[in-house]
Amino acid sequence: MADSGKIIVRSAGITACFFLLCFFTSKAADNLWQFDPELQKAHALILALRTDEAFTLLSHTPPKTNELNKLYLLSFCETVDILITEDETKFRTVEAHFRNRLVYLESLPVRAETLFLEAELNLQLGFNYLNLSQELNAVLAIRKAYYLVQECQKKYPGFIPIKKTSGVIQVMVGSVPEKYHWFISLLGMKGSVVAGQRQLEELKASKSSLHSEATILYFTIKGFINQQYDESAKGILEYLKTEPDNRLLMFLAVNMLVKNSQSEEAYTLIQNLDQHSNGLPIYYVEYLRGEVLMQRGDYPGAILAYQKFIAGYRSQSFKKDSYYKISLCYWLENKYDLAKQNYEKAKKTGRDVAEPDKYAALQLEDATFPNPKILKVRFYTDGGYYKEAQETLQSILPSDLSTLKDQTEYYYRKARLAHKTGELSAAKLFYQQSIDMAGSNPWYFAPNSALQLGYIAKAQKDFPMARKYFEKAMSYKKHEYKSSIDTKAKLALEEIRN
């Protein structure tokens, strides 16, 4: 494959050149894909989630605009709009647009650009289907994109933009949980998170106009897939300096900071995001605001944020979890009647597809509220409020731990706090104690303890021990976070092999 910083110049016959010039109204083979100034401005607006402004700009482009570049941006703009708004009614119109564009592309002579666009549009369509819970349509669209990518890479190995589509598909397929591998193999698809990241990194370093998308995808994968939240947050925040008004970058940075136990920094950025209201409304920010305020101990503020999220968010995802967390906030405020009311609402609301909803659904089966002191330790630790977490831990007496689950979680929380504050010897001891105490119970404390012990061993270059713990993390058959823990362990094993 050619170096990502070079353009491979292809010889073409006079007839072919004339045909393509007539067909596309601009240069034929642009191995980098560099948008003209107007299209570059539209691209920046899309990435800032200002899709209405981008649509307006794209509808008034000059006659000499590269039609294929414009087609890409129109589809990308519609995809971002649907992914954020989750408007199923609007999607019916958007889906028809995608179908018409694909028919048009299939009517053109096969070139690198047309194969890339067919693959990219199928992938975008697949994301839209996934987001709207049309799983079968999503799989078929992504499979079509997968084979178009292979054809493009085989015929035009120097075409840089295909690295974006290929990289995303590699990560998607490579991070599929083990239990679904038979299905992916049946579809004839293979993937690797490491290979996908490498392709996105190459595109990120290129002069292609798609390098900004590659940068965002690269650091997002670093966080959500690799669990390298610190590196991801730093990368996104550094990129945000070049585009300080970019709402998508702010939103992603908030996600990573929350995941990295930097809730105070995340809250500052949420307040900054509040000041940039142009563009698509991001209701999920209210969910993140609720998370931060709950971790901080501001339970009334958290309740209001979760309620605002529930009222505005179109999807049913995260709503079961939100009602459950509202009930926990009331529980910690000693408002037991309101806690029970929202507990019952949580049982009847939403669906348990997203992992927070799955976790909430399992807790709701118990019909009992969690230990309040341990719950506070969890929230403080998750938010980076380590002093408060330590003080609450020290206040816990043996008489406060009446069940094996509470006793196991107590040591698990001690392990998490020690790990996050750099006390690795204590963390390893407490993680192992959590594993021993949990036994075969279907709690996530043991599998995540094994995962974290694997990360510690990997960081200390003890690869045999790391492999042992990652395999152990995947060996647990049933728990709330099996999908994400298995994916993270699998990726870590792949990194060790590489």
pLDDT single digits (tens) 243-254 = 998 999 999 999
Is the torsion defined by CA of 222, 223, 227, 233 positive or negative? positive
More confident residue, 13 or 121: 121
Amino acid at 166: S
Which helix H or strand E contains 29, and what residues bound it? none
Number of helices (H), then strands (E), belonging to the chain: the values are: 26, 0
Domains and CATH numbers, the chain: 14-226 (no CATH), 394-498 (1.25.40.10)
- Count CB-CB contacts under 10 A for residue 177: 14
Phi, psi of 67, rounded to the nearest 5 degrees? -65, -35
pLDDT of residue 19: 35
How far apart are the C-alpha atoms of 175 and 66, rounded to whole Å? 35
pLDDT of residue 447: 97
Q: Write out the two tokens for 194.
A: 């490491």
Residue from 120, 113, 109 nearest 22 by CA? 109
pLDDT tens-place string over residues 306-359: 999 999 988 888 999 999 999 999 999 999 999 999 999 999 998 887 889 988
pLDDT, mean over the chain: 90
Residue whose C-alpha is closest to residue 31's, from 207, 201, 213, 217: 207
Q: What is the reported pLDDT for 20?
A: 34
> What is the Cα–Cα distance from 309 to 328, expressed in whole angstroms?
16
Q: How far is CA 364 from CA 287, 306, 368, 373, in A?
A: 20, 18, 8, 19
Does pLDDT of 299 surpass 50? yes
- Residue 26 has a pLDDT of 36
Position 6 pLDDT exceeds 60: no
> What's the CA gap between 274 and 127, in Å, rounded?
27
Residue 459: what pLDDT? 94
Reference 321, options 352, 289, 367, 365; nearest CA is: 352
**CA–CA gap between residue 181 and residue 187 (Å, rounded):** 10
Give the pLDDT band of residue 182 (cuts 50, 70, 90). Answer: low
pLDDT at 62 over 80: yes
Structure tokens at 352: 């348990």
DSSP 10: P
Q: How many CB atoms lie within 10 A of CB 355?
A: 16
Over residues 108-132, the mean pLDDT reads 94
Amino acid letter for position 448: N
SS3 category, 88: helix
- Cα separation, 471 vs 241, in Å, equals 40
Mean pLDDT of 139-156: 96
Using only the alpha carbons of the chain, give its radius of gyration. 24
Averaged pLDDT for residues 130-141: 88
Q: Is the pLDDT of residue 5 over 90?
A: no
Torsion sign over Cα 262, 265, 268, 269: negative
Please tell me the predicted confidence (pLDDT) of residue 1. Answer: 40
Residue 27: what pLDDT? 40
For residues 438-466, give the mean pLDDT. 96
Q: Which of 16-30, 100-114, 150-164, 474-488 shows the lowest mean pLDDT across its residues?
A: 16-30
Burial class (CB within 10 angstroms; exposed 0-12, middle 13-18, buried 19+) of 460:
exposed
**3 has pLDDT over 80:** no
Flag the least confident range among 50-54, 222-226, 457-461.
Answer: 222-226
CA–chain centroid gap for 414, Å, is 28
Spatial CB neighbours of 111, under 8 Å, sequence gap ≥ 6: 20, 28, 29, 156
- Lowest-confidence pick of 30-34, 98-102, 273-277, 444-448: 30-34
Percent of the chain residues past pLDDT 90, beyond the cut: 74
Question: 156 and 112 in contact (C-beta within 8 Å)?
Answer: yes
Stated pTM of the model: 0.85
d(CA 141, CA 371): 46
Contact 95, 78 (CB under 8 A): no
Whether residue 443 is predicted with pLDDT greater than 60 in this model: the reply is: yes
Cα-Cα-Cα-Cα torsion 213, 215, 221, 226, nearest 10 degrees, comes to 170
At 395-440, the pLDDT tens digits run 999 999 999 999 999 999 999 999 999 999 999 999 999 999 999 9
C-alpha to C-alpha distance for 386 and 394, rounded to whole angstroms: 12
pLDDT of res. 491: 87
